[in-house]
């Protein structure tokens, strides 16, 4: 690991298991990383997730529930919570004073550079992704996430990850490898130019914390889903009389 990469990772905010990022909460940013015993919050919008890099923007009030197909939701409206659901994949929240986004970043999405696509979308709206705050939620840890060479090849073949994947993978037994999806996402943000002080990570393993989080790798088809949500506007829906 280079000194530059080491220093970047060191300066990122790594947090223990919890449902909110404290400095976001203190600034009045309404968001949550919800695990067991939580459902989609009221007035929540979500997508039929398909491990893609498709971005859906909510531009009209009054919509609730399923908002189409894709893996990224964006809105400038203050009348909705947008959400993604995960059960080991990496949930990511983006906050800008004018817009918020919720991102479902599994290994397939990361391999397709979903975070780069999000940064491009933010830029297309006239905002700077480097001036956004990024929150990375609970996900499967490197120790729990065993992959085969075919998955690793997706990252090695990508010009985006050829360098950084070496910092986030460890050799396992036989032809198995262990991949740190959260750290890979963090390093991708660094390559985009996001300062480490704008990145927060809830560093907890969904698979080995059954009292906190749902996990597909642990429970298979019976697994529930963790909801990660955010609202635009520091006032929140409660001030609008909607909750």
The answer to whether residues 116 and 131 touch, using CB atoms and an 8 Å cutoff, is: no
The model carries a pTM of 0.94
240 within some domain: no
The answer to whether residues 230 and 25 touch, using CB atoms and an 8 Å cutoff, is: no
205 within some domain: yes
What was the pLDDT predicted at 162?
Answer: 73
238 within some domain: no
185 within some domain: yes
Mean pLDDT on 175-194: 97
Residue from 113, 90, 101 nearest 192 by CA: 113
Q: How confident is the model at residue 242 (pLDDT cuts 50, 70, 90)?
A: very low
Tens digits of residue pLDDT in 1-51: 799 999 999 999 999 999 999 999 999 999 999 999 887 766 689 999 999
Instruction: Collect all residues with Cβ–Cβ distance below 8 Å to 4 and sequence separation of at least 6.
Output: none
Structural domains counted in the chain = 1
CATH number of domain containing 62: 3.60.140.10
Range of the domain at 129: 3-233
Residue 175 has pLDDT above 90, yes or no: yes
Q: Which residue has the tokens 């985006």?
A: 160
241 within some domain: no
Alpha helices in 13-97 (DSSP H): 22-26
Tens digits of residue pLDDT in 117-172: 999 999 999 999 999 999 999 999 999 999 999 999 999 888 888 789 999 999 99
d(CA 184, CA 202): 14
CA torsion angle 150 141 73 77 (round to 10): -170
């Amino acid at each position: 690991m280079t000194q530059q990469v080491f220093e970047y990772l060191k300066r990122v905010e790594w947090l223990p298991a919890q449902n909110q990022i404290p400095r976001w909460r203190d600034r009045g940013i309404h968001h949550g990383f919800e695990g067991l015993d939580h459902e989609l919050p009221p007035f929540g919008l979500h997508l039929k997730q398909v491990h893609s890099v498709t971005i859906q923007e909510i531009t009209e009030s009054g919509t609730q529930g399923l908002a189409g197909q894709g893996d990224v939701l964006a809105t400038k409206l203050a009348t909705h919570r947008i959400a993604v659901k995960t059960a080991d994949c990496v949930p990511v929240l983006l906050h800008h004073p004018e817009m918020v986004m919720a991102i479902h970043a599994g290994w397939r999405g990361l391999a397709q550079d979903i975070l780069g696509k999000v940064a491009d979308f933010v830029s297309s709206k006239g905002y700077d992704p480097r001036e956004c705050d990024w929150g990375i939620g609970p996900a499967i840890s490197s120790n729990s996430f065993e992959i085969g060479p075919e998955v690793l090849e997706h990252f090695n073949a990508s010009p985006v990850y050829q360098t950084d994947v070496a910092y986030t993978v460890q050799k396992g037994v036989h032809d198995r490898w262990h991949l740190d999806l959260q750290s890979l996402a963090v390093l991708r943000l660094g390559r985009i130019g996001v300062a480490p002080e704008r990145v927060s990570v809830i560093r907890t393993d969904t698979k080995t914390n059954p009292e906190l989080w749902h996990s597909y790798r642990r429970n298979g088809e019976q697994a529930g889903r963790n909801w990660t949500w955010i609202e635009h506007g520091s006032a929140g829906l409660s001030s609008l009389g909607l909750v």
